Each structure stands twice: as C-alpha cells, then as structure tokens.
Chains A and B, each alone.
Chain A
Amino acid sequence: MFASPTSWQRTPQTMEFETEFEMEFDMVFDSPNYMASTDESPNDSRNFGRNQNRKGDKKPPPIPTGSNGQGIPAQPSAGWTPNTSAGKQTMRPLMLCQPFVKASLLKGSFKTIVVLPKYVDEGEWIALNVFEFFDYLNRFYGVMTEFCTLRNCPSILDYSWLDANRQPTRLPAPTYIEYVMTWINNRLNDEIVFPTKAAPTTTASLITPSAHSANNSGASTPVAGQPGDWIGKEGGFPPSFFQTCKAIYKQMFRVFAHIYHTHFDKIVHLSLEAHWNSFFAHFIHFAREFELLEKRDMEPLKELIDAFDAQIAANSSTNKAT
C-alpha cells in the first residue's frame, strides 16, 4: 500500500521494528546505505539557511516582550482565510495530489514515538520533542533557502509579525521565517525556559509528601492546571513552560504551512516528500497528543491533515481485514 509512492526509489526496504508494546512503527528506506554520505557539514544546521544567522551576531527580531510575561511572539493579524476559490478543483495543490499525498517514510502508529513514556516527566518529554522538531524543521527549511527568497516569497500566507511598536507588519516569508527561527532558537537556548544544566532533582521531589502521594496514584505526570502545579514543574521548567511550547509550536506550524504551500514542488523535485510528509505527520500527532496547537492554527493545512488521517484510517481498517 505504501510501496507505490516510494517505488520510484531504488530498492525500497521496509524495516520492521518489533516492540514489546504491541505498537509497531516502520520505516521505508529508499536506501539502506547511509554510509555513503553522512557528512554533516557543520555549518548548515543551526544557521537558518541563508544568512549564517547566528546567535550573537544577529540582532534579535523585534518581538514583543512581556505581553503576558512569557514573550509570546507575533500573532497573525487576521485568522487564516482558506483559499476556497473556484479554481480549487482544477488547481489542486500538489501536496494533495497523488502519489505525493501518500508519500511517507514511516508507517505504523505514531503512538510509539509520540505518547508520553511511562514514569517519564511530561515537561522533559515535550521539551525534547519541541527541540527536535525545531532542529529538523530548520534542516528542511535550510534546503528551501535557495528558493525562499525575498523575490520569490514577498509574503507568507496571511501571517504578520508584530513589530517593536506592536504593530502588525507584513514581512516577506524568508524574513518572517528567519525571525521565527531565531526567536525559537533563543527560547530553546534559554536556560530558564529550557533548563539543561541542573539535572532534574532525582530524589527531592520524592521525599515531599505531596509528590509522594501523587506518585502512589501511579501517574508520574503532575496535573497541569492545578494552582502551584504545572507541566514540567518537577524538572525545573518555569510555569510558563507549556505556553512557550505552544507559542513555538504555532510558529513552527507556519513554517510548515509556507513550505507546503509555496515550495512543495521543490520538495518533490528533491525527492524529499516522503520524509517531509512523515515529519509533518509526526509533528501533528505530537501536537494532538499534548494539545499544543489550536484547531484554527491548523487551518492552512487542514485538507492535508485530513488526507493523512484518512490514509491512517484506511490503513488500519485494511490491517484489521487481513
């Protein structure tokens, strides 16, 4: 079923991963040999594609600060208005067309890699995943920078950036994305928001009676929403941690949306669509699991997400049938 979108590739291979917990998760490789080119050119990852945009030699983007004490960045000036023009039927976006809409590197249940592992701190789990999504999104965007130029992309959907005076400003996509990525990178590097140095206190929280009784109930996750308790509290994350993650997630989604809407043909030319689709699907599944994205924020790619969901549903019913 999944073979067809990838069968143009050389010797597709499916790797099965047996796990003890009933969930399976497979990868389809176009080439099992990644010995051939694992050269990580050291400078292509953390700079945001075009400008060697490094922390330190780059002015921080003019984001609003202290709006609610958490430095939530730009908001869209208006909601996303779906492009329901009449030409839609005849000009179906490439991302929704076969065979590419079905292209996928991964098959099986995303639960394997999305669900909070037992006994693990929810804050640490979300932090690591947000970190990794950013890392790989940045990598993908780095591939797009040849095309995502001021000239080619004078705007980015309906998103606008709040400038220093909190005025919504329309920016060219590359500028907007550069601001977004820099902003996210700065958050991720912020020891207060994403602490790394001080390891989570290993025993202290167990000694306190309240934590202990909570643990006895079998749930290791602190119940968010209770006063004095928040996601990531145990690991030393600030109370705003979850909100920050949501804000990061929202902005990352916009980068996904821009690439899908504007550069998906490049993705296909470069034979990246299976990897890109699966990465996006993973991103969405994680968002749902932890409620990191609002429904309205997902609107720009709703049709694609629906298509992915339909495929998963179709696959699971086929699996049950066989």
Chain B
Amino acid sequence: MFSTQDQGSQGQQLFQNNGQYDASGLAQKLQDQHLNSRTPSSPQRPKTSGSLQAGSDYVVFERNTENFSPQTREKAAATKLKVELFYNQNVQHAVERNQRRMELERRLASETRMSEERKDRQRQQLGKHESSYLRLRRTRLHPDDFLTVKVIGKGAFGEVRLVQKKDTGKIYAMKTLLKSEMHKKDQLAHVKAERDVLAESDSPWVVNLYYSFQDSVYLYLIMEFLPGGDLMTMLIKYEIFSEDVTRFYMAECVLAIEAVHRLGFIHRDIKPDNILIDKEGHIKLSDFGLSTGFHKTHDQAYYQRLLEGKGPNSPAPNQGRNSVLVDAIHLTISNREKINTWRQSRRIKAYSTVGTPDYIAPEIFIHQGYGQECDWWSLGTIMYECLVGWPPFCAEDAHETYRKIVNWPETLYFPDEVQLSYEAEDLIRSLITSADKRIGRHGADQIKLHPFFAGVDWDSLRSIDAPFKPQLKSITDTSYFPTDELENIPDAPAVAAVRAHEESGAPFSSDDTGLPFIGYTYKRFSQLHSKGGIP
C-alpha cells in the first residue's frame, strides 16, 4: 500500500503538467544529496524559471524512500493513517458535542415552566459531562483500574473476566488477549480496522466495545457485559430447542448478521459461542476477528494442511476410515451417551487454540475468496444444531470435520428420529449449500421471506419478550456462565506460560506505564453518562 514508486512517478507527472518537470538524472543527484545531507539547512533546489501558477519558489523534488529503512516507511505510513483518524475523530467529536448541546437547548426551550436557574444548572451539568469525557480521553487505562469479579470465559489467547471499574463502579466484560500469540500482523491490522468500525457502530445487534488498551503482554478489551451468557451454554443446557424457540433465535441472528453486512463486513466466525444473550434475553454478536483462535481458524495454509491429511494430531490419517458411509452410521447412532460426550467436549473445544471449525463455510478454506454469504452457511449449521442437538458436521477431530464440510453434499444428513417441519429442513438445506445457490446471497430479505419465518414481525423483534429471559439476582450475576467448570479447565499453554512467568516474579519489559491506549481506544461519551444500560 505504500508504493513510493507510484507516488514518485505521479509527482513527476504533476510537475510536468505545470511545466516544472526536471530531468530525472538531476533530480536523482539531488536526491542523493538529501539523504547524505548532514547540514541542518534543508536541501532544496529553487526553481528560477517558474511558471505563472507556481511562482519563483517552486521546487522540484523527487520523492524517494528507497534508502529509508522499512521500519521508517512503516512508521510513516502508520503515522499518516493515525493523523487522518485523529482529525476525523476530532471533527466528529466537535459535531457530536455540538449536537448534545443543541439537544439540551431544544429540550430546555420546551420546558416553559422550568426556572432559568435550573436550566442553567442543566447546562452546567452538560459541561461537567463533557469535561469528564475529555478527561477520560486522556486517561491511560490500566488493568489495575478494574476489579476482577470472576473469570467468565477462557480462550487460547487469554480469558474473559467480569470486572468492575474501580472509580465508577460500572460493570464490564474484560477480554485479555496475549499479544505474543497474535503474531499474524497483517491479518491483525485488517481485523482491528473491522473491529474499530463495528465497535463504533452502535448497533443493538453488536456487542459494544468501550475501551481498549494494552501493556507489554496483553491487549485488553473492555466490553459490554451481557449477563445471559451465550447460545452455546444455552444449547448445552437445553440440548435442543423447539421450532418456535429456534425461530426466535434464528430470526434475531438474521437481523444481526444483516446489520453486520450492512456495515460492509463479513463476520466469518458466527458460532453459538459468539451469539451472546443480553439481560432481556435478546442476542448480540461478538468477537469480530479477535475471537480466540481467529488467525488459526482462518489461516488458509492451516486448512490446507488439514485437508491434505496432515492435521496436528493425525500426521498419518487412516484414509480407509474416512469413508462417508462409516461416518453416516456413526452419527445416526442415537446414543445419548455419545452425544453427551460430544457436548462435554464441546466446551473444551471452544477453549482450544484451534477452535471449532464446525460452523465454517466450505468456501472459506477451499477457495481463494468468499463473500458475505459465508455467514449464512454458519447460520444454517447453528439452526441445525438447535433442532437436532449437534452440528451437522461434528466429528471426533477437526480434520474429520473439515473433510465432512468440504463433502457436505454427501455428509449433510438429517437423523430419522428427529422430527423437523418441512419448512425448517428446507431452510437449513437452503443455507447449507454451495455459495452460488445459498439463500441470502442476494440479501437477508431472501431469508426473511422463507416460509419458516412466516409470521415473524421483523421490525419489532428486538422489543418482544424473548423465550428465555435471564433471571438475574444482581448486576454481577454470573449464573449463566460456566464459572465452576472454568476453574477446572487449564489455561491454554501460551497463557499458562505467561502466567508462570508472572508468578515467578520475573519482570517483563515494563513499558506498560508509558503505554497509553496506542490509538485504538474507544471512549464513549454515551457510556460515561448513559441512563439506560447497566447502572
């Protein structure tokens, strides 16, 4: 993206148009002088035969960064982007601040019976809020600013804790991610940008991100705490859903995925663990890219290796065993014990580095490209799981699952003992199909019109009563999270290594004090002074 070659030649073009073009040989000499120059005065070459537009102080300067280190070029490119973002946000802040003030003035104007003194107090109050928001923006957050209430999730790169911000008492979910494990830099950059947009989208279907910061070891994401847990936990608890309940969650997922797509993004990792339940029982999507195991599960080479039969745990797979028939029989065994075993390992899988590939569309790891429709495949597999009790391509190891997904026309199977309505099965089959035939590829409306969703009021979905509303005793109630179970789950190796290091008292490079939020910190005005939400 940082193509100096391009810029140089375009620069010449410009000067040429202005009659300012200089012989490139001369410019090159000049160039060398620039780089070797040790004198404080800047090298330059005044152009004396100036054109009319430019005047006599016009210079020809050929840009060239060939002799600059890649680090410097990278820093320059990053600085440019940061500065653009900074001014963009600066203006945005000014606009929003102004809107808040106008809104207050309008409201005060309509309050005819309010005394001027009181109105003035309200204006001052707004000023206080604005001021404390400014303060927040220069506050360097630190993990110590948060009190851990409980660990509510574990992953390959870190964990999720229920935390309380010490000074405000507000409750959040804090996700810690081990930076050393997230080494796929270019992918991360892409992921972060997406996350930035989604975090600021303010969509009711997306989990809000309020702050993020880092120290030398971890990246910290401070997110909205959704006390209802996730769909995975719910599926583990209820095993299967009725079609009515399934209809509700699938309909909400359709709207949520549609919201993500409207922002121009593909989630790519829709799975029950990423479908969170808020305090009213409605869903929100989480984990855009920074989910545990993201870079592994989306690493093409990794898939390729697995598909070639060089899975991490199966260096020499028994090809004979991989026959479709065997698998089909294997799955149709209506053996509660077997399914329960799968269900138990379900959570373990979710915590593993590899993550579960069960919900990923085949085109993601077969073809070069994929589009938004890959999220609709995932929805189909989740719907199958809701109604049948296990995901359609579940197998004992990831490699087997990959193989089944790739061979979905043979492996997609509806067990005889599970009674599905025609509409439900038809929708699943329309979702779990090749990308060019998949329902939803022309937009979510296609799916909304499917007979399975007949009668759903799409506009008011989020405001109706959810089938399961979490029964909460307090704002820090974690009864919908498997906290006891988590204690028995060992830390991921990388996490454990860091923890051991920490406990040994060995110092990390302690740059955390000097590190503020390095550019990507979300600090929301609404969070500071919201009336709704978690008190």
Q: Which residues of A line the B interface, CB within 8 A?
A: 4, 7-10, 15, 17-21, 25, 27, 29-31, 34-47, 52, 54-57, 90-101, 105-106, 112-113, 117-121, 124-125, 127-128, 131-132, 135-136, 139-140, 142-143, 146, 151-153, 155, 157, 185, 188-189, 194, 196-200, 202-203, 206, 215-216, 220, 234-235, 261-262, 264-266, 268-272, 275, 278-279
Contacts and interface: CB of A to CB of B under 8 A. Distances in A.
B75 A10 contact: no
Nearest to B101: A118
A275 B514 contact: no
Contact of B127 (A19, A95, A121, A279): A121
Contacts of B188: 39
Contacts of A18: 95
Nearest to B40: A262
Contact of B519 (A45, A121, A272): A45
Contact of A20 (B80, B81, B98): B98
Interface string B66-84: 0011011111111111111
B88 interface: yes
Query: What 8 pairs across the A-B complex have the smallest Cβ distances?
Result: A119-B127, A39-B189, A270-B76, A94-B42, A121-B131, A131-B138, A46-B514, A94-B44
Contacts of A57: 510
Contacts of A98: 54-55, 57-59
A169 to B, nearest CB: 19
Given A40-B192, A98-B55, A275-B84, A128 B40 contact: no
Contact of B42 (A4, A7, A189, A262): A262
Given A27-B91, A113-B94, A200 B72 contact: no
A93 B91 contact: no
B527 to A, nearest CB: 14
B68 A235 contact: no
Given A206-B124, A269-B64, A146 B138 contact: no
A72 B64 CA distance: 41
B428 to A, nearest CB: 34
Contacts of A9: 7, 10
Interface string B24-60: 0000000000100110111110100000011101110
B127 A120 contact: yes
A117 B130 CA distance: 9
User: By CB atoms of chain B within 10 A, which of A37, A135, A266 has the most?
Assistant: A37
Given A121-B131, A132-B86, A265-B42, A215 B68 contact: no
Given A142-B75, A261-B40, A202 B192 contact: no
A91 B41 contact: yes
Nearest to A264: B42
Given A98-B54, A128-B138, A38 B81 contact: yes
Given A47-B514, A125-B134, A270 B68 contact: yes
Given A94-B61, A98-B58, A117-B97, A199 B132 contact: yes
Nearest to A185: B514
B472 interface: no
Nearest to A23: B94
Contact of B68 (A27, A142, A269): A269
A46 B131 contact: no
A157 B40 CA distance: 9
Contacts of B71: 146
Nearest to A6: B14
B309 interface: no
A272 B80 contact: yes
A92 B514 contact: no
Contacts of A112: 91, 94
Given A38-B189, A45-B515, A235-B135, 11 more contacts: A25-B91, A37-B2, A39-B185, A40-B78, A40-B192, A47-B514, A113-B91, A118-B101, A196-B140, A200-B135, A206-B125
A23 B121 CA distance: 27
Contacts of A135: 516
Contacts of B2: 37
A261 B41 contact: yes
A42 B179 contact: yes
A44 to B, nearest CB: 6
19 contacts: A8-B7, A19-B98, A36-B189, A37-B81, A38-B78, A43-B511, A44-B75, A56-B514, A94-B43, A97-B44, A98-B57, A113-B91, A120-B134, A139-B83, A142-B79, A234-B131, A265-B44, A269-B64, A272-B79
Nearest to B80: A275
Contacts of B489: none
Contact of A38 (B14, B138, B192, B513): B192
